[in-house]
Structure 1
Amino acid sequence: MEFLQELSDELRDLLTANSSEDARLVQKGLMLYRQGLVTQLQVAETAITAVVQDVMPAKVMLDPEFFGLSECSCPSDGLCRHQMAVFFAAYAGTYSVSDWLTEWREPARETKSAAVWGLQKAKDLVKANGILKPDYQRWVDSFETSFAALLGAKKHMNPFVVSELFGIYRRRLQASSPVEQEWKLLYELVAVVVSFRMLAELSERMDHGVEAVRRSYGHLFEAMVDEADDLVDRIGMQTLPFDFDEFVAGLKDDAFGLLTVVKGLEQPRIALYRVLWSGLFRKTSWREAELERVRERMKSVQEDENPLPLVVASIHLCVLLGEDEHALDLIDLVDDELIVPFIVYWIEFLSIMKAWKRAGRWIDVFLQKLKGYLDSAGIGGGFHGRTGFMRTVLRVITPYVTENRRADVYERTLLNGLPYSYAEYEYMLFDRGMYDRWGELQAFVGMEFQDLPKDRVKIVEKEQPEVLLGMLHQAVQREIDQKNRSSYRMAVRHLKKLRTLYKKLKRVDDWEYFLEGLLERTKRLRAFHEECTRGKLIG
């Protein structure tokens, strides 16, 4: 049964053998299953159901296709021991539960043994290298030797082991760091760039898939980008050594290598490259030479090569050089779903520089592409991811809006970002007393009248009650269309509110005309009319 295997894989992703909490959950589920407490088991591709005879019987439904929709009658939130017990019971009908447990626990065992081996290896390397004096190539050679000894020794490596061994490798590098502060910071930055490159190469060499990297050690790449950003800031605050040029040349070469070192990991590779060229390599001549170098490399892009890092690097260098025309021409070569998040960064960069005119132009381009980006099926994260993206966008454009008094730009962004910008747009409209627009927004997103905040409804009813009329008319019709007794009762509640508003607006004739027409249209809905009578809408 393929669906059982898929469910098995999903549970392996959700549960980590290194986590004591997850280990206890699996153990408790296993005990319930082995004690024969799973009864009434029904296994089907659409749902797996059973009752677990625990302290209190628990009814369980597992959804093999969307495990997040699985249910258990126990009070636990999320995955519980009863669901694990039912999984084991269903899995045992076709596969071996013992084999599942062995495979699930393997990363934890391998990580532990690798850590012991790695620590011993690191001690040997520290003894061999000692403290390294300032020499760019010697630093790089040392990093590569240590990395090869700790992470490159095996032909195959479980992705869960990488994080542990990489941590040991980085701690070993710190033991050989120069004592002088100015050289120490530079050493750490070179270590980040070179280590990033080697970890990316290892990932590709070991054929670790995108999901495996994300779950196991994707955080290492993000951490290194953040570390580089901090180091670049700290280096910029101090006087650089006289013989710094040798290190700049080496770092520039290694930074360029990030653009093509592997086929995947585009986002973190671009982010690290951007950090280095924004904060460390500030000379115009350096940036002009790098732009030419990137352009030349773009001419030889292979058919199976992803050109995105090179294109984004070109755009970024153009932005740094103030060549917005060339940058915007390049943007049109990239799909919106790929380029839009980078535009947010450039808007923020220009805002920090207070280059408001340039920032305004980039915001215009961004807003033209925003709706298409949000509607694209290719971007991940679902509704919550898009909502988070919109919060970032609003934070980034706020300095421009405030400085240039462009509230229209803020509102245009909110409009283009709907429905993901609903919360911010709703707040803005209400705060400004734009109650008619506020009502239109609720209708646009399909907000149910009864779900609106009661304090807001009271204010609108007092200030601009006609706004609520259309919303209540729609709410009444939706409830009637459901054709059941409880929805009829809700419809009557809305109708009574409508009657109050029509009286407040001194439009009693309109109310009576509407009610008469409604009762005529629904004359076959006897239950609805009974509820109207019970609610004293009709005699």
Structure 2
Amino acid sequence: MLQRELTREQAIAAGEQVLQGMESTIIERGYSYFSSGVVFNTRVENNRFLYSDVQGTQVYHVRLDLENVQNSTCTCPYTRLCKHIAATFFQMYSVFENPRHFLARAQKPRRVNFSSAMLMPRYRPVASEGHGNETAPVSSPLTATSSVHDWWTFFESWTRNLLSAMESYRASSEIFSSYQNVLSVAWGWPRERAQLFHIHANLFHLQKLQQYVKSYRQSCWYPDLAKTAEQLLEQLEGAIYFADRQALRADHRPALAETVTIMQKWKENDTSSLYWVYAYRMLWWSLLTDPDWVKQEVETLEQAMQTPNAPAAEIEKYRLLRAHFSVMENEDALALQVWKQIGCLPLAFYLPYLKAFARNQEWQRFLNWTEALTDLIGSAEDQQYRLIIAIWQEAMKQVGRSDECGHMLKNFLPGSFSEYALHLYEAKQFKPWIDLHMSYQVPLADVSSVHLKEIEEAAPSLLYPYYIREINRLIRERNRTAYKEAIKLLKKVRAIFAKAKQESDWERFVDKLSAKHNRLRAFQEELRRGNLYL
């Protein structure tokens, strides 16, 4: 059916857009969904839109825009191009091409183009009306007019057995299930009130997770628990981002004042984990922006920093929090100086600011921060690195410095290795290209044969040290297969010497190599079979 309604050219064009705008991990998950056969009811409209249903935790409805993939939509909470959209793409692509070949392309290093969708939180909050959710609403005494204090009292009652359940079963599943279920309390409430309830439910469960780690795990954050904290923070970011913050400030000031009180108490947490710090900054940055509240919090922090005989860890904590308000005051250099002195802060700590600057189109401010955080960006995990570099390239474009991007990628090594190597190759700077590959000890087998062939034709002598290093590596493996590969490379080296009319140097090189490994009988046999002398 799809083969009659769509064309191979449409599938290939859509595939190129997927490669440009979708993360590798999302493509891989989409392929897994497609392979599992959970995509159904696929249909085409207007020779452009591909609709499908995808079975995930529930059935999600996808609309894939083949002309502009970035405009595709899905009913899941994920705000960007999601795995359900990727699965729908593979369902269509498989009719015309081999989807495994596409997946292999997606897993290779590639440039990611900037899109404003990158700046959106990953998840949007669950609708307060509860449409599409099969879970029955949680029974509670709360109403839309209940105070924030009443909310937290109910949360405590609702989760009275949560910590023991987390200890007995899978902790991450228990707490996330508790969080998602309690959201149904606000079904039918006015939109802004439900949004604020979601925010507080998230804060409470994040605090409960930290309490669990401290009480049951002796401050040990297992990867599964850390991932849960990150998911809660992603949900919190989405809840704040998609909330009607102007209406909340105008019509729900008493509730926000109670939120300020809760945030003030959060300073009592220790810094064995930074998750509560991330939540604290989100609230003050985007929601609790009243000048009087901010002024009061800053004064409290500064007084705490001056407390006589206070433990050094406490003072450092307050300095870390105070620096956030320095950013709000546009004192970026001061904040960065404090945080760099503290040290050990990951790139994730700075990401909310970098994304906020890009959302506000403060491009020079963004570039100032990336310059200060160069080392962290270069050593960041792949997903974070690719996000920042995509924004960085857009920022450079916006300030009229696109032509500097290529050579400046060197500053972000090792993360920028693939992009910087591609820049050097396209600029035909073959010597630094080879030096880069040798510096990072890239095996010759991992280098594009197309690139090697062009360099062999243009300047073969440049490849001499690369080939020699690879030959020595193969010989050290001490097996017949590796020796045969070494002989193939030796023949290439011989051609380089012959082209340079250095036959006597070649013979001395082969003699030294043979003498060095004279005890490797199999290697000596392959040398003779290769007839390597000129």
C-alpha change, 1:139 and 1:533, in structure 2 (3 Å) is closer
Q: 1:163 to 1:295 in 2, by over 3 A?
A: farther
Matched, 1:235 2:243: yes
1:194-216 CA-partner distances (Å, limit 9, x unpaired): 3333443344344554245x43x
Amino acid at match of 1:347: L
| Partner secondary structure for residue 319 of structure 1 | helix
**Structure 1, 133-142 or 180-189: larger mean CA deviation:** 133-142
Q: Distance in 2 between matches of 1:451 and 1:173?
A: 50
Shift of 1:322: 0.4
- Distance in 1, Cα, partners of 2:526 & 2:393: 51
Partner of 1:265: 273
Tell me whether 1:160 sits opposite 2:156 in the alignment: no
Equivalent residues of 1:131, 1:177 under 8 A apart? no
Distance 1:158 1:133, change over 3 A: same
User: SS where residue 489 of structure 1 aligns?
Assistant: helix
TM-score by length of 1: 0.63
- Structure-2 change in CA distance of 1:427 and 1:288 (3 Å): farther
1:417 aligns with 2:413: yes
State the shift of 1:309 in Å.
5.1
Using a 3 Å threshold, how does the CA distance of structure 1 residues 500 and 310 change in structure 2: closer, same or farther?
A: same
Residue number in structure 1 paired with 2:507: 515
Conserved? CA contact 2:202–2:232, under 8 Å: yes
Where 1:189 maps in the other structure, the secondary structure is helix
Between stretches 298-307 and 230-239, larger displacement belongs to 298-307
Of residues 140, 144, 153, the one that matches 1:141 is 153
Tell me if structure 2 keeps the 8 A contact 1:411–1:425: yes
Deviation at 1:515, TM superposition (A): 2.5
State the match for 1:346 in structure 2: 353
Separation in structure 2 between the aligned mates of residue 306 and residue 243 of structure 1, nearest angstrom: 36
Distance 2:435 2:185 in 1: 63
Partner of 2:202: 192
Aligned with residue 162 of structure 2, among 151, 170, 179: 151
Q: 1:414–1:313: structure 2 CA closer, same or farther, 3 Å change rule? A: farther
Which residue pairs with 2:20 in the alignment?
A: none
Letter in 1 for 2:298: L
Q: Tell me the distance in 2 between the aligned counterparts of 1:485 and 1:190.
A: 66
The change in CA–CA distance for 1:422 and 1:243 in structure 2 (over 3 A counts) is closer
Distance verdict in 2 for CA 1:141–1:248, change over 3 Å: same
The change in CA–CA distance for 1:298 and 1:417 in structure 2 (over 3 A counts) is farther
Q: C-alpha deviations, 1:355-407, integer Å up to 9, x for none?
A: 23333332222126667xx5xxxxxxxxxx74455434423423323323155
Letter of the structure 1 residue corresponding to residue 422 of structure 2: Y
Instruction: Please tell me whether residue 361 in structure 1 is matched to residue 372 in structure 2.
Output: no
Of residues 401, 404, 424, the one that matches 1:429 is 424
State the partner residue of 1:252: 260
Distance 2:314 2:210 in 1: 15
Asked if the contact 2:195/2:239 (under 8 Å) is kept, the reply is yes
Whole-Å Cα distance in 2 between the matches of residues 410 and 344 of structure 1?
Answer: 23
Q: Which residue of 2 aligns with 1:126?
A: 139
Point out which structure has higher relative CO (alpha carbons under 8 A, 6+ apart).
2
Distance 2:449 2:186 in 1: 64
Report deviation, 1:307: 5.8
- Determine the structure 1 residue equivalent to 2:326: 318
Per-residue CA deviations over 1:65-121 (Å, capped at 9, x if unaligned) read xxxxxxxxxxxxxxxxxxxxxxxxxxxxxxxxxxxxxxxxxxxxxxxxxxxxxxxxx
Following superposition, which runs of at least 4 residues in structure 1 exceed 6 angstroms of deviation?
none
Counterpart in 1 of 2:231? Answer: 223
- The verdict on how the C-alpha distance between 1:157 and 1:474 changes in structure 2, with shifts beyond 3 A counting, is closer
* CA gap 1:312/1:412 in 2 versus in 1, 3 angstroms: farther
Task: Note closer, same or farther for the CA distance 1:298–1:224 as it changes in structure 2 (3 Å cut).
Answer: farther
Flag the 1:208–1:166 CA change in 2: closer, same or farther, 3 A: farther
Q: Report the counterpart of residue 43 of structure 1 in structure 2.
A: none
CA RMSD of aligned residues (A): 3.6
Matched, 1:174 2:181: no
Aligned counterparts of 2:166 and 2:467: Cα–Cα separation in 1? 64
Q: Which amino acid aligns with 2:455?
A: V
Deviation track 1:457-479 (CA, whole Å, cap 9, x = no partner) reads: 12222333333223223333444
Which whole-Å deviations, capped at 9, do the CAs of 1:468-505 have from their partners, x for residues lacking one? 223223333444566665444333211211233444xx
- What is the aligned partner in structure 2 of residue 88 from structure 1? none
TM-score scaled by structure 2?
0.63
- Once the two structures are TM-superposed, the CA of residue 443 in structure 1 deviates from its matched residue by 1.0
Letter in 1 for 2:492: K
Check the 8 A contact 1:387/1:421 in 2, yes or no: no
CA pair 529-519 structure 1, distance change in 2 beyond 3 A: farther
Asked if 1 retains the 8 angstrom alpha-carbon contact of 2:142 and 2:151, the reply is: no
Q: Give how far 1:444 is off.
A: 0.8
**Local SS of the residue matching 1:333:** helix
Q: Matches of residues 388-403 of structure 1 in structure 2 within 5 Å?
A: 388-403=383-398
Work out which of the residue numbers 440, 448, 454 in structure 2 matches 1:453. Answer: 448
Q: How many residues align?
A: 394
Q: Once the 2 structures are TM-superposed, how far is the Cα of residue 437 of structure 1 from its aligned partner?
A: 1.7
Q: 1:414 to 1:157 in 2, by over 3 A?
A: same
Letter of the aligned partner of 1:515 in structure 2?
E
Q: State the partner residue of 1:328.
A: 336
In the alignment, is residue 295 of structure 1 matched against residue 295 of structure 2? no
Q: Percent identity?
A: 18
CA distance in 1, matches of 2:390, 2:495: 41
Matches of 1:161 and 1:520, distance apart in 2: 63
Instruction: Letter of the 1:196 partner, please give it.
Output: L
* 2-structure distance, mates of 1:315, 1:518: 63
- AA aligned to 2:333 is E
